[in-house]
Amino acid sequence: MKLTGSKILLECLKREGVEIVFGYPGGQMLPTFDALYDYKGFRFILTRHEQGAAHAADGYARATGKVGVCLATSGPGATNLVTGIANAFMDSIPIVAITGQVPTALIGNDAFQEADITGITRPITKHNYLVKEVKDLARIVREAFYIASTGRPGPVLIDLPKDVQVGETEFIWPEETKLRSYNPKYSGHPGQIKRAAKLIMEAKKPILYVGGGVILSGASLELLELAEKIGCPVTWTLMGIGGFPSTHKQSLGMLGMHGTAYANHSIMDADLIIALGARFDDRVTGRLDVFAPNARVIHVDIDPSSISKNVHVDVPIVGDLRQVLVELLQHIKCPPSISDWLKHVEALKRKYPLGYKDKNKILPQYVIQQIDELTKGEAIICTEVGQHQMWAAQWYNYLKPRTFISSGGLGTMGFGFPASIGAKLGRPEKIVFDIAGDGSIQMNIQELGTCVANKINVKVAILNNGYLGMVRQWQELFYKKRYSYTPISSPDFVKLAESYGAVGIRVTKKEEVRPAIEKAIKTDNTVFIDFHVEGEENVFPMVPAGEAINNIIGGLA
């Protein structure tokens, strides 16, 4: 049967198992939106900005492990997706972004709402396509989902000119996808795995350093088994949060710039770093030439270009983390003798505890602890970017993968709120919080409209300190308190929420914190809680940029 390009697109999305598409219409997408008008194959969520659609697709992908899909028109619609695509790219999140394009005959003519979106997104997508003929469309959609979700996942963009949407062809669903030049390697090299096992069994001071790969490959159970078999401490990156239960006795929490002091000291003192699905990012290693000077490194990653990029690796293993761990576990015959090391790590934990000086004011850390207690660590926590993000990483006890959703690599303010929409739609049984700052929430606040119109029940905890807090903190510490454009005003968030038809709660006293969170959880609506927190509280511990990660300032110790 002959179908139009638009109908083929929808049929392909349905066959790929797509449940929800986030998007926004526009002139060059009219044929596809016409096909969507009475389409029942999946749910379409109209966001209030294309950037919101891209982040919502990203949040959906992070919460569910499935591919997120967003759709926008040509030109400004497409360029508004760019930040969301770059964000997904940096954190290896599988999304498929579909954009309208001017008719093929007009491409390159500076036509109305024309932008070379494949050119623009080339360095921020895993791959992208300009569909020039409708007969290629089904194959391209199939390839896009395959590429986005396999190997090291990432965003794929499909640019769809209007005439291709209108054009008709015989619809043939390609049963399988084969690309001769793209064959992700999943099983690790057996010799390297044996070498890694040997190093582990001989280690005196091993540490597990875990990144987002553990979440992406679904390796949490294998990680737990490995950690308990070795008996060594476990630390993780921002992206690795939730991959290992933070209440576990071997847990050291997050490491790096705002990691726990004991995690940073431990990795610096280690003689073996077992890096799993992490990429030795500069926020983790600090000054590279003095990072973990006595450690040998085992590095498991699906992406060969991550290995030996920043630090020298002794045993590289390219493969899917879960598969590699299953193999590795079989080769670790006996745990290493590390009792002295564990005593040392325990001493570091006692010497440098994570803490804050309590006051009779609302401290942001306190708010997050209360959210943790009242949701029993089982909510999905999304964040924006800044101080609140680091506090959310430090003070909530994540127990399971895919419960912490945050912009790690790109550091995108305005990510959390639309991401929470995607997360809630993907995991409706979960309580979903967006922990936000007063600056960040104003970047995509228009998505309140999306929430209310679609009855998406997310809770937004605004830690309102009147500043762009993280930049203010740096100005306080490194720029002589010259608060250049970091004080920021906000609307009345309660009235704003109410004007959209959501619920707003203002909290100005410490004793109101818990009741407000309880009320928000019980309310069957989107809730904005405006916590008026201490204005100049800082995120500690902190490693100044470019310093060794055991050169830590602030905190209790």
User: What number of other Cβ atoms are within 10 A of residue 59's Cβ?
Assistant: 31
Residues numbered 258-317 forming contacts with other proteins, rule: CB under 8 A: 303-305, 308-309
| Closest distance of CB 307 from other proteins, Å | 8
CB environment 158-178: b (16+ within 10 A), e (fewer): bbbbbbbbbbebebeeeeeee
Q: Which is nearer to other proteins, 168 or 303 (CB)?
A: 303
| Closest distance of CB 437 from other proteins, Å | 31
Catalytic annotation, pick one of 50, 222, 384, 447: 50
- The span of 177-185, 201-209, 382-390, 467-475 binding other proteins (CB under 8 A) equals 177-185
What's the rounded Cα separation, in Å, for the pair 209 and 22? 35
22, 85 in Cβ contact below 8 A?
Answer: no
- The span of 117-125, 271-279, 353-361, 429-437 binding other proteins (CB under 8 A) equals 117-125
Q: Which is nearer to other proteins, 118 or 389 (CB)?
A: 118
* 179 in contact with other proteins (CB under 8 A): yes
- The span of 84-92, 173-181, 429-437, 519-527 binding other proteins (CB under 8 A) equals 173-181
- The span of 8-16, 121-129, 170-178, 415-423 binding other proteins (CB under 8 A) equals 121-129
What's the rounded Cα separation, in Å, for the pair 51 and 28? 18
| Closest distance of CB 535 from other proteins, Å | 40
Helix or strand holding residue 7 (H, E): helix 5-15
Q: Which is nearer to other proteins, 309 or 514 (CB)?
A: 309
Catalytic annotation, pick one of 239, 254, 443, 470: 470
Residues numbered 213-232 forming contacts with other proteins, rule: CB under 8 A: none
537 is catalytic: no
Residue 137 CA: distances (Å) to CA of 14, 36, 40, 85, 143 = 14, 17, 21, 21, 10
| Closest distance of CB 188 from other proteins, Å | 17
Catalytic annotation, pick one of 7, 162, 205, 459: 162
User: What number of other Cβ atoms are within 10 A of residue 62's Cβ?
Assistant: 31
CB environment 425-441: b (16+ within 10 A), e (fewer): bbbeebbbbbbbbbbbb
* 508 in contact with other proteins (CB under 8 A): no
Q: Which is nearer to other proteins, 121 or 237 (CB)?
A: 121
* DSSP, res 243: S
How many residues contact other proteins, by CB under 8 A? 17
Q: Look at residues 51, 38, 107, 37 and name the one whose alpha carbon lies nearest to residue 79.
A: 51
Q: In what order do the strands lie in the sheet with 206-210?
A: 251-254, 234-236, 206-210, 272-276, 296-301, 315-318
Residues numbered 132-151 forming contacts with other proteins, rule: CB under 8 A: 147
Q: Which is nearer to other proteins, 179 or 553 (CB)?
A: 179
Catalytic annotation, pick one of 2, 112, 378, 481: 112
3-state helix, strand, coil in the chain (%, to 5): 40, 20, 40
DSSP string, 463-474: EE-SB-HHHHHH
Q: Which is nearer to other proteins, 308 or 490 (CB)?
A: 308
Residue 13 CA: distances (Å) to CA of 38, 98, 141, 157 = 15, 11, 8, 14
- Of positions 38, 40, 123, 485, contacts other proteins by CB under 8 A: 123
Q: Which is nearer to other proteins, 79 or 308 (CB)?
A: 308
* 118 in contact with other proteins (CB under 8 A): yes
- Across the strands, what pairs with 512? none
What's the rounded Cα separation, in Å, for the pair 466 and 375? 27
Q: Which is nearer to other proteins, 126 or 205 (CB)?
A: 126
- The span of 118-126, 387-395, 416-424, 473-481 binding other proteins (CB under 8 A) equals 118-126
For 525, the token pair is: 């609506």
50 is catalytic: yes
- Of positions 122, 357, 455, 481, contacts other proteins by CB under 8 A: 122
470 is catalytic: yes
* 108 in contact with other proteins (CB under 8 A): no
- Of positions 126, 162, 265, 472, contacts other proteins by CB under 8 A: 126
* 491 in contact with other proteins (CB under 8 A): no
Catalytic annotation, pick one of 14, 42, 113, 133: 113
* 186 in contact with other proteins (CB under 8 A): no
Q: Look at residues 474, 480, 458, 463 and name the one whose alpha carbon lies nearest to residue 394.
A: 463
318, 185 in Cβ contact below 8 A?
Answer: yes
* DSSP, res 32: H
Active site residues: 50, 112-113, 162, 470
Residues within the interface to other proteins (CB under 8 A): 118-119, 122-123, 126-127, 130, 147, 179-182, 303-305, 308-309
